[in-house]
């Protein structure tokens, strides 16, 4: 199993690889892109902001350092769609990144770009972004047949679903989310930017009352619905309101899938993805350390229960572990019934 870490600067590479990352992913917005296209036309999912480097020279330095340390680098070209005029530029950028800079893989969401890349450079290694919303083995096979070697599954994928896809299509690597970034929607069907505050984060508020003379809701029914609304609000807060928070143990407190690592490993999932290209370097470092600690526990032969105890001790948030509201894979907690 591989650990994939985010980065947006060459200076982070030694820190991340030295802490246990096997692979890195990054983005770049070269000047030629901004000269030709509005900043409203993002080159990848993080747009032109701090999640990206600004020059191909930075990208080259990052790749050279990573390769010297034995790590791979993946370049994100994963905007949801591109127009016809943008695709030739992206194909040229992909060829330069692979042939001259040495990028190991491209992360792509748009089917049109994937098809164009395979026709332009059949040997390119392409990973399908979670924005492609791959939810079943038939979709995995579809992208395999287009030339993809890895598929990144959406956040909402359950452990059993990921394992079923890994076993059904063993010749495609599967990657899953493991730390930090949450979304209450299906990002692959979203038409805005990630975590658009006015849409995603607004507390719209809910109230309930009986309507009509027949089949009116009882007071108990209303209490249940209100409790559900409060729980929903807490779940949203755990997934999209923890971007800069830390736990009592000093680690990032965003969504977490550490307890699921043993099951994902047994099921044949290839890669665990830490989110946050635009995050501070300290958050990336502590995130990689968390994931690698549990992965090492699995490699050392610890049981699933021992690995869960380790993960929950690292996090230091037993209330979130009990509720499952902060989990990528809450079914793991439900299956065990208790937490440490």
Give CA torsion, residues 337, 154, 21, 316, to 10 deg.
-30
Asked if 323 contacts 329 with a C-beta cutoff of 8 angstroms, the reply is: no
**pLDDT value for 12:** 98
What are the tens digits of pLDDT across the range 1-47?
Answer: 999 999 999 999 999 999 999 999 999 999 888 888 866 678 988 77
Domain 2-200+241-336 has CATH 1.10.510.10: no
pTM listed for this prediction: 0.89
| CA 317 from centre of chain | 21
What are the tens digits of pLDDT across the range 60-104?
Answer: 999 999 999 999 999 999 998 899 989 999 999 999 999 999 999
In the chain, where are the structural domains located?
2-200+241-336
Work out the angle at residue 73's Cα, subtended by the Cα atoms of residues 19 and 279, and round it to the nearest 5 degrees: 60
Rounded Cα gap, residues 8 and 16, in angstroms = 12
What are the tens digits of pLDDT across the range 183-228?
Answer: 777 777 776 665 555 566 666 666 666 665 666 777 788 888 888 8
Q: Supply the DSSP symbol for 45.
A: T
What are the tens digits of pLDDT across the range 260-317?
Answer: 999 999 999 999 999 999 999 999 999 999 999 999 999 999 999 999 999 999 988 8
């Amino acid at each position: 199993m591989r650990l994939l870490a985010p980065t947006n600067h060459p200076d982070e590479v030694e820190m991340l690889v030295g802490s246990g990352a096997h692979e890195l992913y990054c983005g770049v917005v070269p000047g030629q892109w901004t000269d030709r296209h509005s900043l409203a036309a993002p080159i990848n999912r993080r747009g032109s902001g701090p999640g990206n480097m600004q020059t191909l020279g930075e990208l080259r330095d990052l790749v050279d350092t990573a390769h010297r340390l034995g790590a791979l680098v993946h370049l994100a070209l994963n905007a949801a769609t591109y127009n016809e005029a943008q695709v030739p530029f992206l194909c040229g950028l992909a060829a330069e990144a692979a042939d001259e800079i040495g990028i190991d893989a491209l992360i792509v969401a748009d089917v049109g770009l994937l098809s164009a890349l395979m026709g332009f450079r059949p040997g390119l290694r392409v990973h399908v972004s979670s924005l492609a919303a791959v939810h079943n083995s038939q979709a995995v096979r579809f992208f395999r047949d287009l030339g993809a070697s890895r598929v990144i599954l959406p956040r909402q994928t359950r452990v059993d679903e990921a394992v079923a896809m890994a076993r059904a299509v063993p010749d495609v690597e599967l990657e899953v989310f493991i730390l930090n970034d949450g979304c209450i929607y299906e990002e692959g069907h979203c038409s805005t930017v990630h975590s658009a505050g006015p849409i995603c984060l607004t507390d719209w508020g809910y109230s309930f009352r009986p309507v009509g003379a027949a089949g009116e809701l009882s007071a108990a029914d209303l209490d249940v619905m209100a409790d559900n609304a409060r729980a929903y609000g807490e779940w949203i807060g755990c997934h999209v309101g923890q971007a800069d928070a830390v736990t009592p143990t000093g680690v990032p407190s965003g969504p977490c899938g550490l307890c699921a690592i043993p099951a994902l490993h047994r099921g044949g999932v290839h890669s665990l993805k830490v989110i946050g290209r635009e995050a501070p370097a300290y958050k990336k470092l502590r995130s990689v350390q968390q994931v690698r600690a549990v992965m090492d526990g699995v490699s050392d032969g610890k049981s699933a229960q021992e690995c869960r105890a380790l993960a929950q001790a690292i996090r230091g948030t037993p209330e979130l572990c009990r509720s499952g509201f902060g989990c990528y894979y809450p079914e793991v907690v439900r299956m065990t019934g208790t937490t440490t």
